[in-house]
Homo-oligomer: A and B are copies of this chain.
């Protein structure tokens, strides 16, 4: 049975030592988040993940959800109690403003907790995760009345939320959507259509489900310019805030999926369901996009989360499994064989995942911190810089962390040999669960296109120029610092590749957009590699500072892990650059009929 231990200490190190989290009292809510409080929150979050959510992970996979003839859906054994514990702990509203019952803490903390929970039980965590997404949309775009009606109940966990975008014929291309909204004349609309892949669309965990649905108001323009956002509760809400009559929305069927079996993925049928406009008419996609950055960041975290839990279990197995002898002589001569962790190829795998996990966690927390700054700073220049960062890094965190998180889960599974393929060991579930994160919230190819087509050229490339300058400045400032050369030198090489690629696109993609499309995924990974290399350089700086205060084997290990990244992972940038510079010619040359 797989186990999990939340990396509380690593989060603390990143917040305290690397990102100076507690020096940011100029941000609303940060001064309340004292180091002691943060420690207490992380410890409690870890406990929830380790003790409540982890034991429910395998059963969720095995049982999955069941839809009954009346359209109701039962979640796996124990999910109700697990969800109740999640809600009772106040985790749902951890960064929701206090006026709606939340705790108003930084989103950064919420992000750390969501890694723990996603590692422990991705399928279960998606129920509150979707609720948080729906709350974020309502917070930004909902009317005061909508916020007052829905948010307190959602923060409490009494009601959950969903996002309804996809239809059978449209996923990426939402302009094709057909779900129709007809005004009822009383301020409400009547929604009709079918939505698919609706996570947490129907279940038995809460008394009401608040669906956020995009639809086209009758007569609205075709394409993306005619899409509006609606709130459609499963049960209509009475004047007094209590749950009233059933609305015309129901779960038509459950999808049979590769993983996340414990989450109910529904086909949702809207048959004249009553809904209310959220935000402005025909501005639904805009409302969605605001929320998407945070949702995509959360999905990136899921990639890291599966990588982390798979790593932990692979480490345990590699220390326990006796097979063969070390190439340099027996390490456990009293045993029939050495534990497989002595073998360099096993180490290579573990070090590769470990080096990714620490850098990815840093990138995630750093980016979440930018989200906080963007939302909470009073300084317009600081806000702009933070928002630039957030926009640029969101597709990277989503795309790269889920691609590599999946690869890492596969690599961790590999160390188990045949046992990794047997469901009882749990490694298969990590792989199958990790797979979805590459797909939903915008498939990773879409993230790459978003990065290169939208985020890169935005504001004359300001965000990217800012990132390049920041990393270059860091290198310049630290290249001569003792102990930093093993980090700054490879980082410079990676940065040069990133600059080279950016330049190449400037010269070759405007005139031939296919050159951008053909290189988009490589560019996304190139930026991710450099961003994580930068994270390692900053971690190294913090580790060296700790070591300067006194010997620290932990910090020594961190430096080794960082050098592993620099020597073995980061050089992938050169390959990415070569592919980008190959351009679109051979990619696009064949006629479609040749396939």
- Distance (whole angstroms) from the CB of A180 to the closest CB of chain B: 16
A545-562 contacts to B, CB under 8 A, are 553, 557, 560-561
What residues on B are CB-neighbors of A595 within 8 Å?
315, 318-319, 341, 350, 354
A352–B435 Cα gap in the complex (Å)?
Answer: 20
Residue on B nearest A343 in the bound complex, by CB = B517
A476 at interface by CB-CB < 8 Å: no
- Distance (whole angstroms) from the CB of A562 to the closest CB of chain B: 9
What residues on B are CB-neighbors of A561 within 8 Å?
586, 590
Residue on B nearest A418 in the bound complex, by CB = B197
A388–B258 Cα gap in the complex (Å)?
Answer: 42
Tell me which of A73-81, A149-157, A575-583 binds B.
A575-583
What residues on B are CB-neighbors of A315 within 8 Å?
595
A517–B259 Cα gap in the complex (Å)?
Answer: 34
A517–B435 Cα gap in the complex (Å)?
Answer: 30
Q: Mark A482-517, 1 if CB is under 8 A from B, else 0.
A: 000000000000000000000000000000011011
What residues on B are CB-neighbors of A572 within 8 Å?
575
A231–B589 Cα gap in the complex (Å)?
Answer: 55
Q: Is the CB of B439 within 8 A of A414?
A: yes
A242-277 contacts to B, CB under 8 A, are 255-259
A297 at interface by CB-CB < 8 Å: no
A85 at interface by CB-CB < 8 Å: no
A574–B575 Cα gap in the complex (Å)?
Answer: 7
Tell me which of A46-54, A129-137, A323-331 binds B.
A323-331
Counting contact residues on chain A (CB < 8 A from B), the size range is 35 or more
Residue on B nearest A331 in the bound complex, by CB = B592
- Distance (whole angstroms) from the CB of A315 to the closest CB of chain B: 5
A415–B471 Cα gap in the complex (Å)?
Answer: 34
- A520: contacting residue among B323, B344, B557, CB under 8 A: B344
What residues on B are CB-neighbors of A521 within 8 Å?
345, 348
What residues on B are CB-neighbors of A586 within 8 Å?
351, 560-561, 563-564, 567-568
A residues with a Cβ closer than 8 A to B are 166, 169-173, 176, 196-197, 255-259, 315, 318-319, 322-324, 327-328, 336-337, 339, 341-351, 354, 406, 410, 413-414, 417-418, 420-424, 428, 431-432, 435-436, 438-440, 443-445, 448-449, 513-514, 516-518, 520-521, 553, 557, 560-561, 563-564, 567-568, 571-572, 574-575, 578-579, 582, 584, 586-590, 592, 594-595
A sample of 4 more A-B contacts (CB under 8 A), given A171-B323, A257-B422, A557-B590, is A171-B417, A341-B592, A344-B516, A347-B587
